[in-house]
Amino acid sequence: MYETLTMKKALTRNATPKSYWYWKDGENIFDSPPSVRGDLTGVYGDLTDVYGDLTGVYGNLTSVSGDLTDCEITDEDRKKGIDINDLIG
């Protein structure tokens, strides 16, 4: 009733890329840029123009630029969690 399949398993499943990236020399790099540090849980999007400690920050950083140090984020703020939109002026 069913025909035996003769196809080969020649494909591989690649690891899912990180949900954040940056651009360097026209190349899209799926990793965090050297300009940021900290716990990136909850952060996604283009981190190319973002600087500083992203610990406790969450949301889409595409089209966001600036230095997080200028936001004067406290440790208590970081523990509560900070929506990136609350840091954009």
Q: 27-40, pLDDT tens digit by residue?
A: 999 999 999 999 99
Give domain status of residue 34, yes or no: yes
Give domain status of residue 83, yes or no: yes
pLDDT attached to residue 14: 66
Residue 65 domain boundaries:
20-87
Give domain status of residue 75, yes or no: yes
Kindly report the pTM of this predicted structure: 0.77
Q: How far apart are CA 36 and CA 50, in angstroms?
A: 7
Give domain status of residue 38, yes or no: yes
Give domain status of residue 24, yes or no: yes
pLDDT attached to residue 39: 94
Give domain status of residue 51, yes or no: yes
pLDDT attached to residue 34: 96
What is the number of domains present in the chain?
1
Give domain status of residue 76, yes or no: yes
Beta bridge partners of 67: 51
Q: How far apart are CA 61 and CA 57, in angstroms?
A: 10
Give domain status of residue 1, yes or no: no
- 80 phi/psi in degrees, rounded to 5: -75, -30
